[in-house]
Structure 1
Amino acid sequence: MSDYPKIWFLRHGQTEWNREYRLQGQLDSPLTAQGLADARRQARLMHAVLADTPALFASPLGRARQTADIALHGRAYRTDPRLMEIHAGGWQGRTRADILAERPDLVASGATPLDIYEAAEGGEGIVAFHARIRSFLRDLDGPSVLVAHGLLGQVLRAEVRGIPIPEAGALSNRQGCVYLLENGTETVLEAPE
């Protein structure tokens, strides 16, 4: 467990490509109606948090910014490229089904989405991804709200909780909730539908 400040982590709402099981990486697709509803659920959870004026950060990618605009009630936030999703090389924009059809070894091994991104030819890779997440976390100097991406959230949450990074892909990866990270523990905050 590392000594990081209190963090509220929000994964962006569902996108068109999430719905199609298409690897987005650092490409983008818009939020669906469900994704907008996800962000509105997060907004209901953030009222009390925002009253304490934590630092607000978001990935510069459109889906995270669209979510942040809703979930953070229009408050100003800073974008940081270190919060972008893992780059999936030439697999960005391809469907998971097409990739797995070409790579039966990933199916046989029970690969998680994080494992699939790790295997992407020309991709960023987990070591570099983890290093940029740690760089961002080390710069935090107080309670912070982060609006970013699913796989980034898994690796970030594993880092903060002291979970080995190879196990990060087994962590939940939900939209429409808020992950509260404090003192090496995680609490999932949920608003009613």
Structure 2
Amino acid sequence: MSEYPKIWLLRHGQTEWNAERRVQGQLESRLSPLGLEHAQRQAELMQPILSAENPPCYVSPLGRAQQTAEIALAGREFTTDARLAEVHAGDFQGHRLVDLEQDYPDIFARNTTPLDMFCAAPGGEGYERFHARTLDFLQTLSAPSVVVAHGLLGQVMRGIICGLDRSEQAKLSNGQGCVYVLEQRRETVLR
């Protein structure tokens, strides 16, 4: 297992579609009022880290992560990296979970976690490609870094760093308004 530089990982704040329990994948949805509060809380947590460490910052190209980064990183420059986009959830994107469960009962019965379900979506990216691009990003890091991205990408990234298998990754939390600190194959959470 590789050793990676320290990472401060931020999931975007709650979006309007999160609140509706609608699958975003790589579609766009703005931060909700609660999501703006999440990003502001992350800004408070990150301010002393950004001042003391001055780490490079990398952000998903999707609008919700960009919006979160503008707030949480307090206007600091960042690099947008396409490898940090959320998993492409194929035919599930844009649909409410309650409707998908009715339309795809077999997929929902076999895949009980969001990571497994979204990776099983017809026409989607799938777990192997999603894992490969996340790993590819991690392997390019050479210094402690900030990453602003997404819940499922965060689960895979945290799992890779902590040496977890897919089923363990799928059970990880997906907190918003917090910062996951990943260092020496372990995670701690700043709240």
Same fold (TM over 0.5): yes
The aligned counterpart of 1:155 is 156
Q: Which runs of 5+ in 1 are unaligned?
A: none
2:119 is equivalent to residue 118 of structure 1: yes
The aligned counterpart of 2:128 is 127
The aligned counterpart of 2:86 is 85
- Check the 8 A contact 2:9/2:147 in 1, yes or no: yes
- Check the 8 A contact 1:14/1:38 in 2, yes or no: yes
* CA–CA separation in structure 1 for the residues paired with 2:144 and 2:158: 15
* CA–CA separation in structure 2 for the residues paired with 1:46 and 1:30: 22
Q: Which amino acid aligns with 2:42?
A: Q
* CA–CA separation in structure 2 for the residues paired with 1:175 and 1:77: 20
Deviations 1:16-41 (A, max 9, x none): 00001111000010000000000000
Q: How many Å apart are 1:101 and its aligned residue?
A: 1.1
Q: Closer, same or farther in 2 for the Cα pair 1:133/1:119, shift >3 Å?
A: same
TM-score between the two structures when normalised by the length of structure 1: 0.95
SS, match of residue 146 in structure 1: strand
The aligned counterpart of 1:19 is 19
Q: Which amino acid aligns with 1:6?
A: K
The aligned counterpart of 2:142 is 141
The residue correspondences of 1:1-193 to structure 2 (distance < 5 A) are 1-51=1-51, 52-109=53-110, 111-190=112-191
* CA–CA separation in structure 1 for the residues paired with 2:175 and 2:86: 15
Deviations 1:43-92 (A, max 9, x none): 00001110111110100110000000000011010000000000011211
* CA–CA separation in structure 1 for the residues paired with 2:144 and 2:176: 21
Q: Which runs of 5+ in 2 are unaligned?
A: none
Deviations 1:86-121 (A, max 9, x none): 001121101111111122234444611111111100
Bigger CA drift: 178-187 or 104-113?
Answer: 104-113
Give the % identical residues: 57
Bigger CA drift: 107-116 or 7-16?
Answer: 107-116
Q: How many Å apart are 1:166 and its aligned residue?
A: 3.1
SS, match of residue 189 in structure 2: strand
Q: Closer, same or farther in 2 for the Cα pair 1:167/1:133, shift >3 Å?
A: same
* CA–CA separation in structure 2 for the residues paired with 1:41 and 1:122: 36
Cα RMSD, aligned residues only = 1.1
Q: Which amino acid aligns with 1:154?
A: Q
Bigger CA drift: 158-167 or 174-183?
Answer: 158-167
SS, match of residue 181 in structure 1: strand
Q: Which amino acid aligns with 1:41?
A: R
* CA–CA separation in structure 2 for the residues paired with 1:178 and 1:130: 21
TM-score between the two structures when normalised by the length of structure 2: 0.96
